Every structure is written in C-alpha cells, then in structure tokens.
Structure 1
Amino acid sequence: MPMTTTVSPVPASFVPPVDPAAEYARVHARFAPIFARIAEGARRRDQERTLPHEPVRWLDEAGFGALRVPAAHGGAGVSVETVIRVLVDLAAADSNVAHLYRSHLGFTESLRWQPEAVRERWYGRIAAGQTVGNASTERGGNALGTVNTTLGRDEAGVWRLNGTKYYTTGTIFSDHTRVSAALDDAPGRRFAVVPVTAVGVTVEDDWDGFGQRLTGTGTATFTDVLVDDVDVLDRVVGSAEAVHEAAFFQLVLLAVLAGIARSARDDAATLVAGRARTFNTGSGLPFREDPLIQQVVGRIAANAFAAEATVLAAARSLDRALVGAPAATGAGEEPAPATQAQLRAEVDVEQAQVTVPELALAAAQQLFEAAGASATSTAKGLDRHWRNARTVATHNPAVFRARAIGDWYVNGTPPEGLNAIGDARPSPGSRP
C-alpha cells in the first residue's frame, strides 16, 4: 500500500506577523550597533584578506543565527521578510558576512519539515548559538544529479562519511556542516550533518575568486567521519521542503546583492559630497552641486531601491506560501509535495534572480561615473562592490532562470529550483 502523508498544523511562529514593520524595527534595533561595528572594518578586511571571525562571533553571541528558530524553541521566530531585511542591512555593512550565513539560515529553514526528533535536536543547538555550514558542491567528476561523496555503514553498523567538497561557504566559521552524499546501497542523495571539529574533517580556506573573498568558501575533506543516525537527513527533490529551501537559498544571495547596491549608493553620496576637484569640461560647479553628477547618484539610489524592493516582495511571497503549507511528516512517511503557493513563490524568487543582479551591478558600476580616476585607488576599496556583486551574481545563471519563468507563464510548467551541479550528460548524437 502507498504511504500516506500526515500534514501537521503550521506552527504559529511561522505565520507572518500582523505588523512586519514593527517586527523588523525590533530586530534592526538589536543588531544595528553590531552591523555598524562590522562596517567599520569591512574595507580593511577585504584589502588584507582577513576572515571575519570576530564579526561572526559578535553575531552568533547576539542570536543572529536563531532569527528563524520558532520562539517556542528559544529563537526569535521572525518572518522570512524580516530576516531578509536584516540580511540586506548586514550585506550593506559587509556582503561577505551576510553571504556566509546563507547555508546556516537555509538549514534552519529545512528543519520545519524534519521529524520531531531532528527539530528538537537542532532548534535547541541553534538557539544556543551553534551554526551549520555547507558542503554540497563537488569540483568535478560527478554527473549532474549525483555526488561522489559517499555515506555508508561500516561492519559495526555505524555511518561513515567519505568525500571532498568545494565551495563550502561558511563552514570554516561554523560548528557543524551539512554534507550531501550518496548512500552506498541506495539511489538518490542524503544529507549528513557533522561537527567541523570531528575526526576526519579538514576545512581549507582556498577560495581564489576575485570577489566575496572572505566567505570561507573552499575545500572540505571527509575521511571516515562518524555520523549519528539522527543526523542523516532525507532529501527529496520536488517536496515542500526542497522547493522552499531552494527558493530561500537564492533569496539570501539576492539580499546580499541588494545590500551591495545600498552600500554603493552610500559610498557614491559620500564621495560626491566631499569632492572639491572638477573638470573644465563640466559645469565648473562642485560635484555636489552639479546636476549631472547628482543624476548619476540618483540612478545609483534608484537601482538600490528597486533591488531591495524586489527582494522584499519575493520574501513576502515565501511568507505567504508558508501559511497552510505542509509541515513535518512522521517517520516512514513520504514528504509532502510542494503546494501551488510554494511554486508561485519560487517563480517570484526566480523573477528577482533575473532582475536584481543587473540592478546591483549597475549601481556598483555607476559609482565610478560619480567621480574621477581617484575613485579607482585601491586604498578606497570601491572596486569591492562590483567584484562582490559580480561574484554573487554568478551563483545561479540568470539565463536559466529566465527560461524557466517563460516556461511557467507560457506552458504552466512548474519551476525547478537549483538543487544539483555536475557534469552534463552528452546530448544525443554528440561526438565523443
């Protein structure tokens, strides 16, 4: 007989607040002083390539990682909209720090659909300040939809994890990391959550990208790492959990881009306000009074505004989709499929994925139109906005998202969130 799905009531802590503005104001007031401290050292850290261990500690101690943990489990229980707004604020202070929390916040989102024992275990840890990084992507050699990292039981029946991951963003700052792995004796993929300090775990900061250089992205190696039974988690593509988490993961990156655009706006305004030099080919007025330069700053501000407004609209769509969405299932039960509202929210995030990167990149580029060659001084560090925005924008190619959106509107085809990266299969008739 086919297994039936038991849908639990939606916890009250996941229902969007009656007054989201008031909720955000409370959370913003709590973290704004920390964000200001983080912003003070952002340029120096980028120039010296200093990993932000201290800013991460400040945030962890203040409960940043528990914003989406339900209040009943010791967290703040805030809405998706509020956590995304706060992420934009953090990204404006330092886009690297906001980005490195992506995996942890995504893991926290996924707990909503996990069995009670898993929720109890991890909500408590996260509320106590522990964090979870990411170890999903492999550098090559794995076919699309598969991974070379394996999870199997040894002769004593204990789970053992083996493999190498790249792009392990946030793991070097975290207490645990969530690893995607193939089971030795079963199809599909699972997640194994292991302590970063466990025997057999090695984490390297060898990311060599020109942007987002301080996210702790790099290589993680797992050699016969022991995994508790309760920390082996199912992963089902197309389920309510998978669709929501894929959309949330992308939304975090878009929040980072919106924060970068805001920071470019603020730097442009500060640069122009304090500039005395001008060009004979211009109006002869100080830059702060020149209408053409004011227009440039105005366009940067408009791009930043549009980026943030788009991101928050997508966040509200995810909040709406969670109301009435299937929650956790019991042991042995099939995961509930995504609802129509969740698919609609995924489309909204994908539409933002097409537009927000362009807005952020334009803001970062136009920053240099508001000043002369002196703005390119490495001491000013203004290039980091474009480098960081360009790097974040590469994570989920917009051309694929645009095609999926068109297929949704034309043919009603449900979108597929990004859930796998690997070697492409040869097309029929292709040459060897």
Structure 2
Amino acid sequence: MTTTLPTDTAASTGSTPGGPDAEYERVHARFAPILARIAEDALARDQDRTLPHEPVRWLDEAGFGALRVPVEYGGAGVSVETVTRLLIDLAAADSNVAHLYRSHLGFTESLRWQPTPVRERWYGRIAAGQTVGNASTERGGNALGTLNTTLSRDADGGWRLNGTKYYTTGTIFSDHTRVSAALEGADGRRFAVVPVTADGVRVEDDWDGFGQKLTGTGTAVFTDVLVDDQDVLERVVGSAEAVHEAAFFQLVLLAVLAGIARAARDDAATIVAGRTRTFNTGSGQLFRDDPLIQQVVGRIAARAFAAEATVLAAARSLDRSLADAPAAVDVGGEPEPATRAQLVAEVDVEQAQVTVPELALAAAQQLFEASGASATSTRKGLDRHWRNAQTVATHNPAVFRARAIGDWFVNGTPPEGLNAIGDARPSS
C-alpha cells in the first residue's frame, strides 16, 4: 500500500516551513488516533504475550515506515528529530511496537549512501508499505569481528546464504530481513536482504527476555537461501553510512526509553489522582493533595522531561550532521569516510546513552513510591515499565560508551559505534 503522508519538498532537505515543530504537529496529527488505539490494548498484549501484528499493520498502512524516505521517492521526508518525537510518542503507547521498528528505520537510513539502483529499488518498496527486519547478531561461537553466517557463490553464479541469527528484532513482522554475513573464503562482511517468506528462511518467536517481550526478538535460520546480486549490499566500518546508522540505531533505543519514562509519569499521575486510601503515617490527606506524593510525581515527571529533552538534542545533532554528509557513491566507488559533524553526532548520542537509561529506570522505579502495595498487582502490570526499560538499557553497555566519550574529550579519539558482537579474544 502506497503511503499517503502529507509531504513537501522542503521536508526532504530538512528545511521545513514553520520549523521542526510544525512538521511534527502535521505528521503527528495523522498518527495520533493510531497511537491511542495502540495504547488501549498495550497492557493486555503484555499480559497475554500477544505479538502486536495488528498495531504494526495499522502503522504500516499509515506510512510510518516511510517517514524517512525522501519525498522524491514517495515518502514523507521528515527530519530525524520528527521521527524521533513520533517514536517517543509510540513508545509511550507501547514500547514494544516502537522498538520493533528500529531495524526497519535503520535500514532506511542506510539507503542514503547506497548507489542509485539500490536506493530506487528499496525506497520504492518502503514507500509502498514494505518493511525490513534485522538479522545481525549470532548467539555464540563467532569471534568478535567475525560471523559464522556466510554468503557463497553457487554453481550458477548466484549467492547462497547460510547461517543462524538471534535477536532478530522486527523480522517476524516484516516483509524482508537484512542479514549480516561473511563472504565465504574472503575478508569482509556484507548485508544480504531477503524476503522473510523465501525458501530456506525460518523465523521463530523464541525470545525469553523479561522485558520487551513482544518485539519478535528471536531466532532466524537461513538454509541455502538464494539472494539476488542487487540485494547484496556493501558495508564499510568507519564510513559515513556506518557511523550514521550506528548512531541512529542507538537513538531509536533512546527514544524508546524516553517513551517508557513518559508512560511511567502518566501512570503515576493517574494512580495518584484516583487513589482514596492512605496511611496513618502520612498526612491523612488524599494522595492527590499530599505534598510528599506530589513531589514523587514531580520527580518522575522531571526525569521523563530530561530524558526526552536529551534524546531530542541528540536527534537534532544527527540532523545537523546530515547537512554536509557525503552523498551516495556509484557502483564500485569507494565509500566516503565520516565527517567531523557525524563523529560529533555520534558522541552526542553516546552521551545520551550514558544518561537516558538511568533517567528512565529511575522514573519506572519511583512509580511505586506514588502508591502502596496494590501497585504490585500483576493485573495492573506497572512492573512492565521497569522491565522494558532495563531490557532496552542492556543493548549497548553504558560503561563502554562513557569510556569512549572520555577518550574523545581528553584525547580527541574518534568514537567507534557498535558494529560487532562476538566471543572475546583470549587474554595474553
């Protein structure tokens, strides 16, 4: 289904009439009814472990996946800041649904640097409502910087994909998935983009995490999957594409955390406003009139505000970095290195990675100070905010990001975005 989002040429370049607020308000108006519908059943989905196929369909049909596709290719062409604000809104409604779009939105970002035939092929598909999941990480047995999943040439000269991936967030909801693979008998890695329904592809919903249970983060197995030449994409660590995409991938997680903090704020306010029971050790007033309880809700709100403001500042930094980012290369051309503005944007995202998880987790934890033991009822599901925030926060350990930030400010060492997970090398 072709997207029908309101667009304009200026939005494609980031120069939107009325500024970013006007762009956001215009696009948000379209999605607001869908977000409300998603929020209505979010608790029930979490309790019943019902994958959100229907909410994803609503969003796909409304063009959520094409928000960052340029106008000239049929998309909405909105800024990074606007899509980040919408992700926060979506995460406040259901953090699982916002998280599962991470892979698709990251893939869309990467197309900016791909050769014209690749951009035309995939922008067109995305504008028509198709989505792309992720299959990058292997559960074990691969040394850091290497992959056991391989692309090899078959007897007919085509490509064959073989391997097993875990943490394949979003793939079970998607039309295609992007698979990171080593070239058999050669150095380097590539991405193979394959239909989820292709022969030899099996996707399993076996994610057993205590949070973000509904993101489809499970196993994908690829057995002799035929891959078209034009769907084998280059990837060079340190290139403009790789640096931007790594930062954007983390920005999506930060938006999810900011949305969780906002949901905790809203639940705290609702609980306090409606509570009639109190304690003899308190003031004896209704919770809504008790200054100490008001202070608890105020602190939760302040943390949610700080988380959102930090994430949006990082999003604006990414928008600025794209203003002078290298353009796409022709087929066979050498990828351009990242600009300084892109490295600064990566540092800004990393600084947010150090602070936003703490804010979101504290907001979700303090939610229980705004009520009594009744807040722990599984029927209310208030624990899901902390569980979800903790799960998202583990994706890129903050201790490593903090070290990289310090190295940048002290020594000017360019940061390295997360691009590989594997078994550590033995200590010497």
Under TM normalisation by the shorter chain, which class is it? over 0.9
Q: Which amino acid aligns with 2:425?
A: R
Residue of structure 1 in register with 2:374 after alignment: 374
Distance (whole Å) between structure 2 residues aligned to residue 188 and residue 282 of structure 1: 64
Runs of 4+ in 1 over 2 A off after TM superposition: 14-18
SS at match of 2:199: coil
Partner of 2:414: 414
Q: What residue in structure 1 maps to residue 14 of structure 2?
A: 15
Cα distance in 1 for residues equivalent to 2:327 and 2:186: 26
Encode CA deviations 1:162-191: one digit per residue, 9 max, x unaligned: 000000000000000000000013201100
Distance 1:154 1:168 in 2: 26
Do the aligned residues in 1 keep the contact of 2:11 with 2:76 (CA within 8 Å)? no
Aligned to 1:60, the other structure's residue is in SS state helix
1:156 partner SS = coil
TM-score (norm 1): 0.96
1:340 matched to 2:340: yes
Task: Give the match for residue 153 of structure 1.
Answer: 153
CA-CA distance at 1:331 after TM superposition: 1.2
Could you tell me whether the CA contact under 8 Å between 2:133 and 2:169 is conserved in 1?
A: yes
Alignment of 1:3-402 (within 5 A): 13-18=12-17, 19-402=19-402
- Residue identity matched to 2:125: R
Counterparts of 1:62 and 1:17 in 2: how far apart (Å)?
A: 21
Deviations 1:5-44 (A, max 9, x none): xxxxxx9824353510000001110101000000000000
Aligned equivalents of 1:361, 1:370: Cα separation in 2: 15
Q: Contact 1:15/1:322 (CA < 8 Å) preserved in 2?
A: no
The letter of the residue matching 1:13 is S
Identity between Structure 1 and Structure 2 (%) = 86
User: Which amino acid in 1 is paired with 2:278?
Assistant: T
* Partners of 1:409 and 1:169 in 2: CA distance: 34
User: Helix, strand or coil for the counterpart of 1:357?
Assistant: helix
Give, in angstroms, the shift of residue 327 of structure 1: 1.3
Indicate conservation of the 8 Å contact 1:314/1:345, yes or no.
yes
8 Å CA contact retained: 1:14, 1:322: no
Other structure's SS at 1:334 match: coil
Inter-CA distance 55–133: structure 2 relative to 1 (3 Å threshold)? same
Q: Deviations over 1:118-165 (max 9, x none)?
A: 000000000000000000000000000111000011011010000000
The corresponding residue for 1:4 is: none
Is the contact made by 2:11 and 2:78 (CA closer than 8 Å) also made in structure 1? no
- In the other structure, the counterpart of 1:424 is 424
Which amino acid is the alignment partner of residue 16 of structure 2? P
What is the CA-CA distance between 1:391 and the residue it aligns to?
0.2
Matched letter for residue 228 of structure 1? D
**What letter matches 1:78 in structure 2?**
V
3-state SS in 1 of match to 2:285? coil
Name the structure 2 match of 1:3.
none
Flag structure 1 segments of 5+ consecutive residues without an equivalent. Answer: 1-10
Amino acid at match of 2:52: P
SS in 1 for 2:223: strand
Partner of 2:413: helix, strand, or coil?
coil
Tell me, which stretches of 5 or more residues in structure 2 are unaligned?
1-9
Secondary structure at the aligned position of 2:43 is classed as helix
The answer as to whether partners of 1:16 and 1:320 remain within 8 angstroms in 2 is: no
Distance across 1 between alignment mates of 2:62 and 2:154: 40
> Contact conserved, 1:255 with 1:308, CA < 8 A, in 2?
yes
Measured in 1, the distance between the counterparts of 2:116 and 2:285 equals: 66
> Do 2:11 and 2:79's aligned partners in 1 also have CA atoms closer than 8 Å?
no
User: How far, CA to CA, are the matches of 1:20 and 1:200 in structure 2?
Assistant: 44
1:324-361 superposed Cα distances (whole Å, 9 cap, x missing partner): 11010011111000000000000000000000000000
Q: Is the 8 A contact 1:167 1:217 kept in 2?
A: yes
Matched residue of 2:120: which SS? helix
Check conservation: 2:321, 2:341, Cα contact below 8 A: yes
Return the alpha-carbon distance in structure 2 between the equivalents of residues 423 and 219 of structure 1: 19
**What CA distance in whole angstroms lies between the structure 2 residues aligned with 1:116 and 1:30?**
31
Give me the whole-angstrom Cα distance separating, in 2, the residues matched to 1:368 and 1:327: 49
Question: Contact conserved, 1:276 with 1:286, CA < 8 A, in 2?
Answer: yes
SS in 2 for 1:160: strand
Mapped to 2, the partners of 1:74 and 1:390 lie a distance apart of 37
Q: Distance in 2 between matches of 1:90 and 1:14?
A: 25
Matches of 1:386 and 1:392, distance apart in 2: 10
What amino acid sits opposite 1:293 in the alignment? I
- Cα deviation digits, residues 177-233 of structure 1 (max 9, x gap): 000000013201100000000000000000000000000000000000000000000
Whole-angstrom CA distance in 2 between matches of 1:15 and 1:211: 35
SS of corresponding position for 1:148: coil
**Correspondence for 2:3:** none
Cα RMSD after superposing both structures: 0.8
Amino acid in structure 2 at the alignment position of 1:344: V
User: How many corresponding residue pairs?
Assistant: 418
Amino acid at match of 2:42: A
